[in-house]
Amino acid sequence: MILSCNNISKSFGTDVIIKSCSFNIEDHEKAAIVGINGAGKSTLLKIITGEEPADTGIVTLAKDKTLGYLAQQQDLQSDRSIYDELLSVKQYILDMESELRRIEAAMNSASGDELEALMNRYTNLNHEFEMNNGYAYKSEITGVLKGLGFAEEDFSLHVNTLSGGQKTRVSLGKLLLSKPDIIMLDEPTNHLDMESISWLENYLLNYNGAVLIVAHDRYFLDKIVSKIIEIDNGDCTVFSGNYTDYASKKAILRNMKLKEYLNQQRDIKHQEEVIAKLKQFNREKSIKRAESREKKLDKMEVVDKPVELNAKMNIKLEPSVVSGNDVLTVTDLTKSFDGNTLFNNISFEIKRGERVALIGNNGTGKTTILKLINGIIQPDSGSIYLGAKVAIGYYDQEHHVLDPDKTLFQEIQDAYPDLNNTQIRNTLAAFLFTDDDVFKYIRDLSGGERGRVSLAKLMLSNANLLILDEPTNHLDIVSKEILENALNSYTGTILYVSHDRYFINATATRIIELTNQSIVNYIGNYDYYIEKRDILTAKAFPDKNDKISVSDSTIKDSKLSWQQSREEQNRLKKRKNELKRTEERIADIEARLTEIDTIYSDPAIGSDTARLMELHNESTSLKQELDTLYEQWESLMEE
């Protein structure tokens, strides 16, 4: 065990954030903390690092173990270049290298015992230098910088000139190079493109230490972690497995808890009815029996009703007018900034009903394309044509469509003057803004809250072409799933930019990748894109085969991986069907048992011994079958 949290509790005023949270992190273990926005995930990380004191509880880090932490926001101040800033982490190696050079120079003029002592010192220091990867530290720094999305020409940029996102990537690089025994990361993927996220996944997956992550990126969590620590209404629960495993087990546990609660409530109600009936008899024996039952009822350990699933946004997206079949046509579109060509003569069409994800590395021009379509900026050349009856609804990741000097109520009222006060309040309530929240100023909202206001305006627009720029940024996992369902139910057309691979996989019917100043089309979701990416990229850019090589073994591996994936999908489908049949049979048996109980209580058959025996035998047989089915159900759920 490398880290132990025992009975950690934290409150801010009257708000209880964390209640008696306990968990352990083992050596080399990869774990995640999950929960809705405001659940206390970042607070828990700060308590572990000592930045925030706990009200109660103890955090224990194993002896001689080091801990590294990356917060969401970084205000890194340095006059050094990006490369030199990362190089500073390796100062101990630079010192060893300088000492080795000094010993080499001294050995040239030494002899006898002095030379022997220098040689011994040199041998020991050189071994330590090698063990610390001293001969490859430069390539290690370069690898981390490139992995995090910095090009070689960026290495010389001064840290103080960087954006907040770039500073966060520099800080992440420094943390990774320092190689602590446990890495703690708070939303590390927020400022990374897909390629960098994939690199970080592999880096953390193969990291020799332990990792503790707070993230809303479900694809990322599924690939890396083997333990989930959930904070829900202050309670802390530990689940083994990745995010998908957790989500499945969470649903099962909640259903079991709800069933236990309902069964107990039914039993309590039955007991109360019996007690009331006994008291009505008004006889000494019946009153004593009623009192005995009351005592048992008072001593009963009451099961708490499971907390309702967290208050959720209520998004209903529906176009007011059906567009023509040809929604958007882009022809020979070119755009450059300051001599840097983002894309050159790109063309594509989008038809009604398509859900198209526009993906690509940072800086390739994805957001620029959305702004061009919206008419916010003009192209250098090319044309953009909107089809018949097309009405655009635009979601801007920077929320420039919101006025910081307006309240939430004013923002909706001014945009949709036909709405009355009740309609405006109902709309905002659907996005979790109630009571006095509606009078908050836009400038005082968090990123996630601004995102919800933008989504509210989008819902009211009744547009038939939604153009979304990073719509899942700052949304927690529950909100992302609600948005996914809303988009999948939407009958209009969608074009969006996102680096959330899980979100893309769940919503996209087509992917356009912006790469090499051009585009490549993939008719499918993110899994299909991964399967076909190397092959289609090589076909799209044959003149770049020296940079993009696709070997026969790669194609073979891709086909094999796809075949295995299909087999796994078929196996899961078969298990799901079997699970459904099992649940249906369980429901039938439980219904029949309830029916038998009702028949038992019928006075008409009270003297019919043969009928009673028949019912008893049927009930016994059904209960035995039910026990077997419960075990079968549990086994299927585990699979």
Whether pLDDT at 606 is above 80: no
CATH number of the domain residue 594 falls in: 1.10.287
Determine contact, residues 31/213, Cβ cutoff 8 Å.
yes
Mean pLDDT along residues 556-569? 50
Per-residue confidence (pLDDT) for residue 399, from 0 to 100: 67
Give per-residue pLDDT as tens, 248-258.
888 788 778 88
Count of CB atoms situated within 10 Å of the CB of 272: 13
470: left (phi over 0), alpha (psi -120 to 50) or beta: left
Burial class of residue 111, CB neighbours in 10 A (0-12, 13-18, 19+):
exposed
Give per-residue pLDDT as tens, 366-392.
989 999 998 888 999 999 999 999 989
| Domain extent for 104 | 41-245
Per-residue confidence (pLDDT) for residue 557, from 0 to 100: 46
**Closest to 510 measured CA to CA, from 495, 492, 491:** 495
Per-residue confidence (pLDDT) for residue 30, from 0 to 100: 94
The CA distance from 331 to 363, in Å, is 21
Burial class of residue 38, CB neighbours in 10 A (0-12, 13-18, 19+):
middle
Q: ∠462-464-466 over CA atoms, to 5°?
A: 95
Q: ∠381-382-386 over CA atoms, to 5°?
A: 135
Residue 46 placed within a domain:
yes
Per-residue tokens: 351: 């038809």
The CA distance from 488 to 141, in Å, is 43
- Which DSSP letter does residue 73 get? S
Whether residues 92 and 185 share a domain: the answer is yes
Per-residue confidence (pLDDT) for residue 60, from 0 to 100: 92
The CA distance from 33 to 134, in Å, is 35
Residue whose entry in the numeric block shows the structure tokens 């309702």 = 308
Bridge partners, 15 (sequence order): 12
- Which DSSP letter does residue 125 get? H
Per-residue confidence (pLDDT) for residue 310, from 0 to 100: 46
Whether residues 466 and 500 share a domain: the answer is yes
Instruction: Using only the alpha carbons of the chain, give its radius of gyration.
Output: 31
Give per-residue pLDDT as tens, 487-510.
898 889 999 999 888 899 989 999
Residue 13, classed as helix, strand or coil, is coil
Per-residue tokens: 635: 């086994």
Residue 440 placed within a domain:
yes
Q: ∠149-142-359 over CA atoms, to 5°?
A: 15
Per-residue confidence (pLDDT) for residue 562, from 0 to 100: 42
Count of CB atoms situated within 10 Å of the CB of 286: 15
Whether residues 108 and 48 share a domain: the answer is yes
Per-residue tokens: 416: 């949709």
The CA distance from 539 to 516, in Å, is 13
* Number of domains observed in the structure of the chain: 4
Residue 414, classed as helix, strand or coil, is helix
Per-residue tokens: 571: 């196996």
Per-residue confidence (pLDDT) for residue 634, from 0 to 100: 58
Residue 457 placed within a domain:
yes
The CA distance from 418 to 596, in Å, is 59
Residue 307 placed within a domain:
no
Whether residues 56 and 129 share a domain: the answer is yes
Whether residues 258 and 360 share a domain: the answer is no
Question: Which of 496, 524, 543 is the last residue in one of the domains?
Answer: 543
Q: How far is CA 259 from CA 239, 245, 272, 395, 633, in A?
A: 21, 21, 20, 41, 16
Mean pLDDT along residues 10-14? 88
Determine contact, residues 318/439, Cβ cutoff 8 Å.
no
Residue whose entry in the numeric block shows the structure tokens 């394309």 = 369
Determine contact, residues 637/579, Cβ cutoff 8 Å.
yes
Question: Which of 215, 245, 275 is the last residue in one of the domains?
Answer: 245
Whether residues 335 and 204 share a domain: the answer is no
Residue 45 placed within a domain:
yes
Residue 304 placed within a domain:
no
Strand 56-61, strand 235-240: pairing: unpaired
Whether residues 417 and 538 share a domain: the answer is yes
DSSP 261-319: HHHHHHHHHHHHHHHHHHHHH--HHHHHHHHHHHHHHHHS-PPPPPPPPPP--------
Q: ∠163-165-170 over CA atoms, to 5°?
A: 95
Whether residues 200 and 264 share a domain: the answer is no
Determine contact, residues 534/554, Cβ cutoff 8 Å.
yes
pLDDT band at 187 (very low <50, low <70, confident <90, very high): confident
Determine contact, residues 289/297, Cβ cutoff 8 Å.
no
CATH number of the domain residue 180 falls in: 3.40.50.300
Whether residues 66 and 205 share a domain: the answer is yes
Q: Amino acid letter at 16?
A: V
Q: Amino acid letter at 592?
A: R
Whether residues 48 and 169 share a domain: the answer is yes
Residue 349, classed as helix, strand or coil, is strand
Per-residue confidence (pLDDT) for residue 153, from 0 to 100: 87
The CA distance from 235 to 19, in Å, is 6
Whether residues 386 and 499 share a domain: the answer is yes
Residue 142 placed within a domain:
yes
Question: Which of 229, 245, 261 is the last residue in one of the domains?
Answer: 245
Give per-residue pLDDT as tens, 406-457.
999 999 999 888 888 888 888 888 887 888 888 989 888 877 788 888 888 8
pTM over 0.85: no
Residue 591 placed within a domain:
yes
Q: Amino acid letter at 217?
A: D
Whether residues 386 and 464 share a domain: the answer is yes
Encode 479-503 in three state secondary structure: HHHHHHHHHHHCCCEEEEECCCHHH
